């Protein structure tokens, strides 16, 4: 009788793992870098900076130029995103900055880790989107809306 219970528990665990795998496949692309998918699919991905978090391309600029991080030239942000990831073998086809008026700052969140009132979206190949997911990018529905409606 105990054997049947253990087998039942094992089946439940395997089914649960399978469901988790399916859910994650829907929200993040799971394509290994360098894998030829045989398609030219492109995706919008989003990077949502958090307070007290250094943005990678701003930090790279700071180190390269030997300048304080806070002196980053915001007017060149999109070019620096393309340059930073281009040096890592990721081709940014398009980039944009989104300003989120629904992100309430600073009264609702006073510590580190709060969402900034802006985010960065990049349009990349599906392969590159998978690599960017490791760096904190997520699939973006806003970029898809912009593409469909020509915004």
pLDDT for the residue 102: 61
Task: Give 126's pLDDT tier (boundaries 50, 70, 90).
Answer: very high
Structure tokens at 4: 């049947």
Which residue matches tokens 């290994």? 32
Please tell me what DSSP assigns to residue 34.
Answer: T
Say what the pTM is.
0.64
Whether residue 120 is predicted with pLDDT greater than 80 in this model: the reply is: yes
pLDDT tier at 35, thresholds 50, 70, 90: very low
Q: What is the pLDDT of residues 62-107, one digit of tens each?
A: 999 999 999 999 999 999 999 999 999 999 999 999 997 665 555 5
Integer Cα distance of 141 and 111 in angstroms:
27
**How far is the C-alpha of 105 from the C-alpha of 110, rounded, in Å?**
8
Angle among Cα 106, 112, 114 to the nearest 5 degrees reads: 55
Residue with tokens 């949502």: 48
Q: Which residues pair with 122 in a beta bridge?
A: 45, 95
More confident residue, 27 or 129: 129
Among 138, 112, 125, 136, residue whose Cα is nearest residue 46: 138
């Amino acid at each position: 009788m105990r054997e049947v219970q253990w087998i039942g528990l094992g089946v439940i665990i395997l089914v649960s793992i399978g469901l988790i795998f399916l859910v994650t496949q829907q929200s993040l692309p799971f394509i290994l870098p360098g894998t030829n998918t045989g398609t030219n699919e492109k995706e919008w991905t989003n990077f949502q900076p958090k307070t007290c978090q250094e943005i990678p391309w701003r930090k790279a600029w700071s180190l390269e130029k030997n300048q304080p991080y806070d002196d980053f030239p915001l007017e060149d942000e999109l070019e620096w995103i393309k340059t930073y990831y281009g040096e890592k073998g990721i081709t940014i086809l398009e980039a944009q900055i989104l300003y989120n008026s629904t992100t309430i700052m600073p009264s609702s969140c006073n510590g580190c880790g709060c969402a900034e009132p802006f985010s960065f979206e990049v349009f990349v190949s599906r392969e590159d989107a998978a690599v960017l997911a490791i760096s904190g990018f997520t699939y973006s529905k806003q970029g898809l809306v912009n593409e469909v409606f020509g915004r």
